[in-house]
Amino acid sequence: MRILLVGAGGVGNAIAKIAARRDFFDVMVVCDYDLARAEDTVAWIEQKHGPQLGRFLAAHIDAANADNVAAVARHHGATHVMNAVEPKFVPPVFAGALAAGADYLDMAMSLSEPHPTHPYEEPGVKLGDDQFAQSSDWEVAGRLALVGMGVEPGLSDVFARYAADHLFSEIEELGTRDGANLVVRDEVGNAIFAPSFSIWTTIEECLNPPVVWEKERGWYTTAPFSDPEIFEFPEGIGPVECVNVEHEEVLLMPRWVDAKRVTFKYGLGDQFIGVLKTLNQLGLDKTEPLLVRSADGPVLVSPRDVVAAGLPDPATIGPRMTGKTCAGVWVTGLGLDGRPREVYLYHVSDNEWTMAEYESQCVVWQTALNPVIALELLSTGAWVGRGVLGPEAFDSKPFLDLMASPESHGGYGQQWGCEDRLPLDR
């Protein structure tokens, strides 16, 4: 397996660091528009693990140009293209991988467009629609595009498949619930607003109309931050208010897992929601460039890019962050014995541990872990597929077994939890 890793930001950097401990691939080419950033990732790996003898390489790539992605992939003989850049670059990286005859993985899918007249009632273009529309092209080419293979989406989708296959005879709701108790502080110890993930992606997710799926109704949308609920997260995180947010799980799970309802709720917090609402009111969430007059003359600037430039890089905030993040799926329905059952399947990532082991903050590290596991399963043939598929299309047990098995036994040493819950627990 020869992997072209597109993007050496926080998640891409963590993917390479996690993969450096594994031996299932021959070469990983770490690519970025900023070649120095890719070179820094390779240098860290060589400093940590010794000379790589060509196993890790750095290269320049333009993720906005499908022809360039294809050319770089062909040059390095890539068998798999791992997309670790912003979702806005999904179309060219997706197309470039297919043109190069490589399989493809991503952690976020092609972007949505709200319904032109009823945005908070009906979906317009849904997340991933553009990719699923091209599934036959990938099938004819004999290639696989594994989409939404991060943590959320990704691991949560694997949990959903596991619940359907091993825990439930009938599923009422698959409810992805994501929460944390993370705090980022400035140099003097004051808590600051510093998103742990790309603000570009965060704005896209949180201000777009959230999508809900119901078997009797199909996909429909609601207002941003709707339907708040308090959800109790494990391992000391505790109760967090979660709200509806647009996310890929709701667009993926119903395609392969039988459930009556699918939702996604994210624990954002009042301050975070307030900042996002303010950005929206000021028009700073927009992506269309505006003409801005400066001392050097007029320039075109995207308001959202300005916001991103003014915030700390999520890849750099790890040393100032404390706490844990939790990703998981709350499942309700009937157990295998036919009796009512509720479980929460989850994985927790501790920032202190990820910084000590990988010098990566916990949110990007947790996201990066899952595509590496998926790549390993593809390399061994434990997962096989053609066309555009989500994580739910594959057997969950090999993934979760490899994830939890100790490193000394060839696994990743990452335990996942399954909590049985009663209605009164919520």
DSSP per position, 373-425: HHHHHHHHTSS---EEE-GGGS-HHHHHHHHHS-GGGTS-----EEEEE-GGG
pLDDT of residue 426: 45
- Is residue 15 in some structural domain? yes
Residue 245 sits in a domain whose CATH number is 3.30.360.10
* Residues 102-128: tens digit of each pLDDT: 999 999 999 999 999 999 999 999 999
- Is residue 143 in some structural domain? yes
Q: Rounded mean pLDDT of 44-73?
A: 96
The whole-model pTM stands at: 0.91
Do 179 and 232 lie in one domain? The reply is: yes
Calculate what percentage of the chain has a pLDDT beyond 70: 98
Do 358 and 372 lie in one domain? The reply is: no
Q: Rounded mean pLDDT of 223-242?
A: 93
For residue 283, what pLDDT band results from cuts at 50, 70 and 90? Answer: confident
Q: Side chain identity at 416, as an amino acid letter?
A: W
Do 271 and 311 lie in one domain? The reply is: yes
| Residue 236: how many other CB atoms lie within 10 Å | 11
* Residues 301-354: tens digit of each pLDDT: 888 888 878 777 776 777 778 899 999 999 999 999 999 999 999 999 999 999
Segments forming the whole domain that contains residue 353? 155-362+415-425
Q: Are 123 and 112 in contact (CB under 8 A)?
A: yes
Residue 387 sits in a domain whose CATH number is 3.40.50.720
pLDDT of residue 337: 95
pLDDT of residue 197: 67
More confident residue, 306 or 15: 15
Q: Which residues on adjacent β-strands are paired with residue 176?
A: 264, 329
The token pair that represents 264 in the structure block: 């996604």
Per-residue pLDDT for 424 more than 70? no
pLDDT of residue 279: 83
Least confident segment among 21-35, 53-67, 70-84, 313-327: 313-327
Per-residue pLDDT for 212 more than 90? yes
